[in-house]
Chain A
Amino acid sequence: MTSAKWLSQVKRGLLELCILNLVGRERMYGYQIVKRLAEVPGLVVTEGTIYPLLSRLKREGLLESRLVESPNGPARRTYGLTREGRRHMRSINESWSEIAEAVQRFMDGAMNEEER
């Protein structure tokens, strides 16, 4: 697997994790989610790809959406977590913490080896 492909798959999983955590804190509309994710350097390559991802998470029953009237323009679609989505978020948050910690230990070990 090329590093670009590996990175793309890792980012895809992480994007899902970030979206669930963002929406888990407060209801947000699509544009807000995209802009918040775009603030993280290197996480979002192209902003448009977030919308199909939101749509997929909705299809999987992790997110729900509703249209909310906006004072300055057309109605906005806001997203929130479903009960299943909240359960999934807790589960992947725990998994991520464990994995990140374990991987960091390996990386620290490899760095120390290189330094020696």
Chain B
Amino acid sequence: MKPRKSEAARLETDYLARVKRALAGRDASEVEEVVESVTAHIEEELSGDLDGEVSLVQMANVLERLGPPEAYMEQGSNDSAAEAISQSPRLSRKAVLGALMLPIMIAVDLLILAIGKAVDVSESRLEPFFAMVGFTGLIGGVVISLSALSDIRRSGGRLRGRSLALTGVILPVALVVLGAITYYGIRPCREGRPERPAPVIDGRSFGDPPE
């Protein structure tokens, strides 16, 4: 890379930052590729100049031929993308699914409980099913919602549903924290409570073997 005078380097940095701003909303790899190409272009243009540090004037000439970064925006857009941007943003399906995952799994748990009662199955036998369904709901909801957040961030305004996706992440985590606090808060109280004595009927303790 040809050495630049400080003011020339500053001008170049500022230009590349404006290019990035002009292409904001596009895929990060695409922006990176354009910036990389423009950087290579500047280097090629300067390689023909005389030796020594690149002056402000030399850099300004190169950047002038490249044109204003704001003009990059129009050329990079295609009709379908422009159409998509002009339309109102679409609600992310993943965000909806992520937020609904936990309520759906709770509903499934209740259904299992109802079926268990109907066919007279003890709750202890249903516990593994409850745990499996609940765990799938929690983890699945968080994973899908995180993926939705990432999609929304990269969509450049074409997708909406950020609050829904955030709910899908926060709600399961809050439930786990609340569950843990409740479990660990109640257990010591139960363990510390004295055992209730067996009721005494006619001088005999309930449950004593008959004489």
Contact = CB atoms under 8 A, between A and B. Distances in A.
Interface of A: 8, 12, 15, 29-31, 34, 45-56, 58-60, 65, 72-74, 76-77
Contacts of B1: 73-74
A80 to B, nearest CB: 15
A8 B40 CA distance: 26
Interface string B58-71: 00000001111101
B67 A52 contact: no
A49 B75 contact: yes
Contacts of B27: 59
Contacts of B146: none
A35 to B, nearest CB: 9
8 contacts: A30-B40, A31-B40, A46-B65, A48-B38, A51-B41, A55-B37, A73-B1, A74-B43
A51 B38 contact: yes
Interface stretch (B28-36, B89-97, B102-110, B191-199): B28-36
Nearest to A29: B40
Contacts of A74: 1, 40, 43
B47 A73 contact: yes
Contacts of B47: 72-73
Nearest to A76: B40
B72 interface: yes
Interface of B: 1, 19, 23, 27, 30, 33-34, 36-38, 40-41, 43-44, 47, 65-69, 71-78
A47 to B, nearest CB: 5
Contact of A31 (B44, B68, B78): B44
A67 B210 CA distance: 93
A60 B80 CA distance: 10
Contacts of B78: 56, 59-60
A56 B73 CA distance: 11
A8 B75 CA distance: 10
B115 to A, nearest CB: 50
B40 A52 contact: no
